[in-house]
Amino acid sequence: MGNEKKAHVLEAAGKAPPVGSGDGETTTYKNIGFCGFAVGANASCVDVKNGRIVRVRPLHFDEKYKPEEMKPWKLEARGKTFEPTMKSLIPPFSLAYKKRAYSPNRIPYPLKRVDWDPSGERNTENRGKSKFVRISWDEAAQLVADELKRIQQKYGPTAVLVQGDGHGETMTIHGPHGCQTHLLDLMGGYTLQARNADSWEGWYWGAKHVWGQDPVGQGTQTNLWKDICENGDMLLFWGCDPETTPWGWSGQQASRLCYFWTEIGVKQVYVCPDLNYGAAVHADKWIPIRPNTDAAMQLAIAYTWITEGTYDKEYVETHTYGFEEFEKYVMGQEDAVPKTPKWAAEICGVPSRTIKALARQWAKKATSIAHGNGGGYIRSSYSHEPARLEVMLLGMQGLGKPGRNQLKMIEWGLFSLNSQIPGPRPEVIPAMTRSTYKGWQFTLPAQFIPKTLIHEAILNPPLTWWSTSLAGWPREDQFVQYKYPADGCSEIHMIWTDAPCLDTCWNNGNKVHQALRDPKVEFIVAQHPWMENECLFADIVLPTNTKFEQEDIGVDQFSGQFNTLLYEGQSIKPIGESKSCYEAVAEIAKKLGLYEKYTGNMNYEQLIHHGFDRSRCQKMLTYEQFREKGYFVVPTADNWEADPPGFINFYKDPESNPLDTPTGRLEFYSVGLHEHFWDDEERPCVPHFIPHGETHQESLLHERSKKYPFLLMSNHPRWRVHANHDDISWIREIPTCKIKGPDGYLYEPVWIHPSDASRLGIADGDIVKLMNERGAVMGGAYVTERIMPGVLYQDHGSRVDTIVPGQLDRGGANNMICPSKTTSKNCCGEVTNGFLVDIGKVDLDEMRRLYPEAFKKPYDPASGLVTRAWIKGGK
Amino acid sequence: MKSFVIDIAKCNGCYNCQIACKEEHVGNDWTPYAKPQPDTGQFWMKMHEKVRGSVPKVKMSYVPAPCMHCSDARCIASCAPSAIYRRDDGLVVIDPVKCTGCMSCLDVCPYGSIYFNRDMNLAQKCTGCAHLLDRGWKEPRCADVCPTGAIRFGEEEELKSLIDGSDVLLPEEKARPLVHYRNLPKRFIAGSILDPKEDECLEDVRLTLTSVATPARAQITGADYCFRGDHGGQPKKGVTLVGATDAFGDFWFNQIDTAQYVLKIEKKGFVTRTIEAIDVGEKDVNLGDIDLQRAP
């Protein structure tokens, strides 16, 4: 079927021409969201003329549906009304996405590393250094198939590691993550890179031990928009940026919501080291706090409430367990250090009077806490501590009371759960995750390795750890120990990746590079549309393509206005020799004689139909209607207003509505941790402020800070989705996206406060480097009042541009130098934020003299690194 | 007549407008409305951004600025080959076929809205997406993609209630733009008041701010015209504003005119303080932490 694929370019159907069509343009619908995993958002229209994309624009829901068919919701509070618009609120990434399809960074044809010879020298030490040559699809598929067979025969199926997770374009049939696993399942299995609860590490490893809340570990979201509109006085955006992280997942409804809360007088207080993009426009108050010192301030808030008697004692009595132990620690009975506001102020940089004022406001006003993944503490060392403390503080003020909950500004409907939707509930959450999509790998194969431990598994086996670490797994799993190699399984000798960006997104990229060069890893195949990051470490690179180039079915389930189901017609023909992930793996399946089994003898139309039949919308319209209209808007559920908001039932009657903790209560003293890890000083039964310990020394209170005196905050990027979109020229020319060096190279901004900059002789626009024992990365100084003194900020996810392997990166990919170790001793989450660095000015002339080759690499200032730099004789 | 109304208080700085403009015009040839825009360096819809204040009293302002489609457009008068014309709906368009690349329009535009395309020897700018309006679109790309409704476009009479009380950029140019702004950034004075003895934030402190003179420092000129702060005209003397601190001891006087101010700080039981000569010219002012001593 791959070659017989029919281009179903959807003709402008219906009676009235769609908005914008005309002049020979045709329109296809696409969700252009970047969560991946078939979990879509950002419903868009793609207008095409003469085989080229003219534009991407918002979908106007009312183009083909009447309001009464969609049942728009309405939130009325304090004399004002909040309701959905009639168009999707797509972010700039979706708008500019055609630039990714046409990027000079696209991989034009299959590639083989010049010095990788499967029947001779493999030269694994040259991965990431040597160039590639063009080969045919036939040759590439044969090489992969032969290596696969050889390695499976020699070591067994678990010798193949699948790196098939991570965020990026959301696709269903064609997307990455499910294709190679589907084929390998037919061949006896594989070793899975287990997908962490990334960016919500602390909730997973910490908060679950206070309030349960499987699978996510965050608060119940049901009807919290309504609750806050009606009852909320204050919202704490604690390390939350509603104008950044939600974009790739949910578009810009979060922004509208914040404006509405301003309109009705809900005070918005931002607690974060940086004046993030949400604070910049929505904050009533910004409380700058040093990265990952939040636990100290949280304890001082508890201290204030305890000493002033302003917490809800009755609630604590009836709804919680172990408060006395917590109180002992707060008051200093355990360690002779009362956790006073003055004590905290020294640590966190927030004046003690401000801590007291915040504590009193919080006690007095109905306060919820907003999160959007990422932020100052949730991805740092010991992130379970501030996460647990936050839940306890919410508990001390009566979690679940009107206006007192924990709100998410992102992933509205995560895991297709109604309890993860804070807005008005749709009749159904349309889903593809368990039908046509094959990449939902949240069950365990024979062997797996947590994503954070891949480099350790390769470099220093054997390993043991606790918990599968898989996002969404239950709390109790954290008490189960696993090992690598698993019984009867092999070490890894081959890697098949469709998410080649561990180096710029996860822990200690320099170690990742070292591991990928290990001779034990005999073969690496990467399939990806763009030549970036770990593609350069592959032996064979298969060019895959963007969703514009494919026919598919998709959902928008996160955007917070209306959920939609989309027939995603093929917008343009595949670029170069690219194939979708599904088709690329099909080529290998053919060589293995598994093509029929792989496709199940279904063509795309059948797969789309199969997905529709299991979409949860299948009874709301016929398949024919769906195909004719091209999209379906899921109506708002009748009586959505009646769903009990947040934790209200637990608040009202904890006995009948217990939490899923061992005691059914909010556990200030964790019974589970007491039973299994009673002596873990890094995750004690009562949460502590842990500046440093056996595992991590990333604190200004540790002597390492003498050498590396700045804490680096690295949040989710404003102008990327993790490693995605770093080559979009229109985004790169935005002042906060890149900083142009005197050499014309666009450097990743490093935010530094004017007081620090002037002390160090750094001027705005200077080229600098951030460094610690793990290496150095470069950047362009952005001297700004948007960062507190003593703290530096750089987004994560910039494309790696190695100058000296293992030592120096020009791209500003600071994950290259973040800690290698995981959250804490018994928790294998990532630590990619709030770590120690020093900063210094860079002499570019000197650099160029020292590393002439690296600085001569072909480079396009508009889009950055280009594929041809890596192809021998490439033009 | 078509009009834009751009409400700065609703602009979240997402750059959708700037990106969509480029998406519409880069690589797409809309002759006779416009030839393609170069990939980088031109911004027919340009987002201006500014960080205001100092830690921890910091805000950002974003001002999206397309061509102002002036009713008294100097570019039209300056164009020798008459390549620039006003449409019946008021939008000002440069005919890419007639333009000879003489660049005189670039010199006379007070807003810097016209760009020069060297490869094509053409003056180019925002067309209001006239090519789309003429095929039935209700609004240009920048307005369609604006998530918060900050950019509105339509018939002047439909937008009348929003245009009333709005400002224009560089009013002294008297170019009568079709682009109207609401809530253009002016200036702020902010600070925090505390009781140093008790280490407490002081709430309900009464603040009286009076303008006493024109600011000492020069006004911002040139590319930063969006942030000049005096969009309402000349600074006024003798204007008095009152305010009070919140529970954090914070106070903000937002959207004030550029001027030199005096601030009086009063609270019962404390010694009244006066801060003289607060110069609010080119920058917003964070007065920082202000101690208030208990009355003896």
Query: Residue B213 — φ and ψ, nearest 5°?
Result: -165, 170
Q: How far apart are CA B231 and CA B211, in angstroms?
A: 17
Q: How far apart are CA A306 and CA A321, in angstroms?
A: 16
Binned at pLDDT 50, 70 and 90, residue A18 comes out as very low
Percent residues over pLDDT 90 in chain A: 93
Mean pLDDT of the region A474-484: 97
The answer to whether residues B294 and B195 touch, using CB atoms and an 8 Å cutoff, is yes
The answer to whether residues A410 and A372 touch, using CB atoms and an 8 Å cutoff, is yes
Q: How far apart are CA A673 and CA A377, in angstroms?
A: 21
DSSP-based three-state secondary structure for A150: helix
Interface touch B201/A20, C-beta < 8 Å: no
pLDDT tens per residue, range A850-869: 999 999 989 999 999 999 99
Q: What angle do CA A190, A193, A194 make, to 5 degrees?
A: 120
Mean pLDDT of the region A375-398: 95
Binned at pLDDT 50, 70 and 90, residue A375 comes out as confident
pLDDT tens per residue, range A103-154: 999 999 999 999 999 999 999 999 999 999 999 999 999 999 999 999 999 9
Q: Quick one: pLDDT at residue B135?
A: 94
Mean pLDDT of the region A597-624: 96
Q: Cis omega before residue B56 (within 30°)?
A: yes
Closest CA of chain B from A785, distance in Å: 5
Name the residue among A170, A45, A164 with its Cα closest to residue A585: A164
Binned at pLDDT 50, 70 and 90, residue A21 comes out as very low
Mean pLDDT of the region A186-196: 95
Contacts of B200 in chain A (CB under 8 A): 353, 356-357
pLDDT tens per residue, range A96-110: 999 999 999 999 999
Residue in chain A lying closest to B52 (CA): A785
Interface touch A91/B39, C-beta < 8 Å: no
CA distances, A570 to each of A50, A379, A476, A628, A866 (Å): 13, 38, 44, 15, 26
Q: Which of A56, A85, A788 sits opposite B55 (nearest CB)?
A: A788
- Average pLDDT of chain A is 95
Interface touch A89/B15, C-beta < 8 Å: no
CA distances, B59 to each of A2, A510, A647, B51, B54 (Å): 53, 37, 34, 6, 9
Residue A584 has pLDDT above 50, yes or no: yes
Helix, strand, coil percentages in chain B from 3-state DSSP, rounded to 5: 15, 35, 50
Buried-state track A711-721, b at ≥16 Cβ within 10 A, e below 16:
bbbbbbbbbbb
Lowest mean pLDDT among A687-691, B79-83, B215-219: B215-219
The answer to whether residues A829 and A750 touch, using CB atoms and an 8 Å cutoff, is no
The answer to whether residues A788 and B55 touch, using CB atoms and an 8 Å cutoff, is yes
Q: Where are the beta strands (DSSP E) in A216-372?
A: 234-238, 267-271, 285-287, 320-321, 367-371
Give residue A743's Cα distance to chain centre.
32
Residue A36 has pLDDT above 70, yes or no: yes
A634 DSSP assignment: P
The residue assigned the tokens 């009755």 is A314
Q: Quick one: pLDDT at residue B246?
A: 98
Q: Quick one: pLDDT at residue A556?
A: 96
DSSP-based three-state secondary structure for A608: helix
Q: How far apart are CA A515 and CA A507, in angstroms?
A: 13
Percent residues over pLDDT 70 in chain A: 97
Name the residue among A214, A277, A288 with its Cα closest to residue A242: A277
Strand partners, A447: A191
Q: Quick one: pLDDT at residue B232?
A: 58
Supply the ipTM of this predicted assembly: 0.97
Interface touch B145/A361, C-beta < 8 Å: no
Angle of the A253-264 helix axis to the A224-231 helix axis, nearest 10: 20
Give residue B154's Cα distance to chain centre.
20
The pairing of strands A746-747 and A463-466 is unpaired
Closest CA of chain B from A744, distance in Å: 14
Interface touch B247/A786, C-beta < 8 Å: no
The answer to whether residues A775 and A823 touch, using CB atoms and an 8 Å cutoff, is no
Tokens representing A67 are 């309001």
The residue assigned the tokens 């004017």 is A754
Q: How far apart are CA A346 and CA A871, in angstroms?
A: 54
Angle of the A137-155 helix axis to the A581-591 helix axis, nearest 10: 70
- Average pLDDT of chain B is 94
Q: What angle do CA A369, A90, A557 make, to 5 degrees?
A: 65
Binned at pLDDT 50, 70 and 90, residue A19 comes out as very low
Q: Which of A17, A91, A281 sits opposite B60 (nearest CB)?
A: A281
pLDDT tens per residue, range B229-246: 776 555 667 889 999 999
Q: How far apart are CA A170 and CA A552, in angstroms?
A: 11
Residue A512 has pLDDT above 50, yes or no: yes
Interface touch A361/B247, C-beta < 8 Å: yes
Q: Side chain identity at A723, as an amino acid letter? A: A
Binned at pLDDT 50, 70 and 90, residue A442 comes out as low
Residue A219 has pLDDT above 90, yes or no: yes
Residue in chain B lying closest to A85 (CA): B147
Interface touch B10/A87, C-beta < 8 Å: no
Tokens representing A435 are 């039908």
Mean pLDDT of the region B131-141: 96
Tokens representing B188 are 């702020």
Angle of the A179-186 helix axis to the A581-591 helix axis, nearest 10: 20
Interface touch B23/A19, C-beta < 8 Å: no
Strand partners, B253: B189
The residue assigned the tokens 């009362």 is A338
Interface touch B248/A354, C-beta < 8 Å: yes
pLDDT tens per residue, range B249-288: 999 999 998 889 999 999 999 999 999 999 998 899 999 9
Q: How far apart are CA B179 and CA A746, in angstroms?
A: 33
Residue A705 has pLDDT above 60, yes or no: yes
The answer to whether residues A797 and A374 touch, using CB atoms and an 8 Å cutoff, is no
Region at A582 (left for phi over 0; alpha for psi -120 to 50; beta for the rest): alpha
Residue A3 has pLDDT above 70, yes or no: no
Mean pLDDT of the region A249-258: 97
DSSP-based three-state secondary structure for B131: helix
Name the residue among A223, A659, A232, A615 with its Cα closest to residue A418: A223
The residue assigned the tokens 């947040």 is A646
Residue of B59, B137, B146, B198 best to disrupt the A interface, most CBs of A under 10 A? B59
Interface touch B59/A281, C-beta < 8 Å: yes
Query: Residue A569 — φ and ψ, nearest 5°?
Result: -65, 160
Q: How far apart are CA A832 and CA A834, in angstroms?
A: 7
Angle of the A294-308 helix axis to the A341-348 helix axis, nearest 10: 170
Mean pLDDT of the region A69-94: 98
Query: Residue A685 — φ and ψ, nearest 5°?
Result: -65, -35
**pTM to 2 decimal places:** 0.96
Interface touch B201/A789, C-beta < 8 Å: no
Tokens representing B128 are 């209001």
Interface touch B40/A789, C-beta < 8 Å: no
Residue of A353, A572, A737 best to disrupt the B interface, most CBs of B under 10 A? A353
Residue of B17, B18, B23, B141 best to disrupt the A interface, most CBs of A under 10 A? B23
Closest CA of chain B from A92, distance in Å: 5
Q: Which of B28, B57, B147 sits opposite A252 (nearest CB)?
A: B147
pLDDT tens per residue, range A780-822: 999 999 999 999 999 999 999 999 999 999 999 999 999 999 9
Q: Quick one: pLDDT at residue B213?
A: 86
Tokens representing B71 are 């009713």
Q: How far apart are CA A772 and CA A807, in angstroms?
A: 10
Q: What angle do CA A852, A853, A854 make, to 5 degrees?
A: 95
Binned at pLDDT 50, 70 and 90, residue B217 comes out as low
Residue of A19, A95, A243 best to disrupt the B interface, most CBs of B under 10 A? A95
Interface touch A730/B14, C-beta < 8 Å: no
Terminal CA-CA length for chain B: 66
Give residue A710's Cα distance to chain centre.
25
Q: Side chain identity at A362, as an amino acid letter? A: W
The answer to whether residues B284 and B188 touch, using CB atoms and an 8 Å cutoff, is yes
DSSP-based three-state secondary structure for A778: strand
Q: Quick one: pLDDT at residue B231?
A: 66
The enclosing H or E element of A779 equals: strand A775-783
Residue in chain A lying closest to B147 (CA): A89
The pairing of strands A775-783 and A808-809 is parallel
Q: Which of A95, A280, A734 sits opposite B60 (nearest CB)?
A: A280
Binned at pLDDT 50, 70 and 90, residue A441 comes out as low
Q: Quick one: pLDDT at residue A433?
A: 82
Residue A270 has pLDDT above 80, yes or no: yes
The answer to whether residues A398 and A433 touch, using CB atoms and an 8 Å cutoff, is no
Q: How far apart are CA A318 and CA A322, in angstroms?
A: 11
The enclosing H or E element of A804 equals: strand A802-804
Q: How far apart are CA B213 and CA A115, in angstroms?
A: 75
Mean pLDDT of the region A319-347: 98
Residue B156's contacts (CB-CB under 8 Å, 6 or more residues apart) are B1, B2, B3, B90, B163, B178
Name the residue among A615, A731, A724 with its Cα closest to residue A35: A724
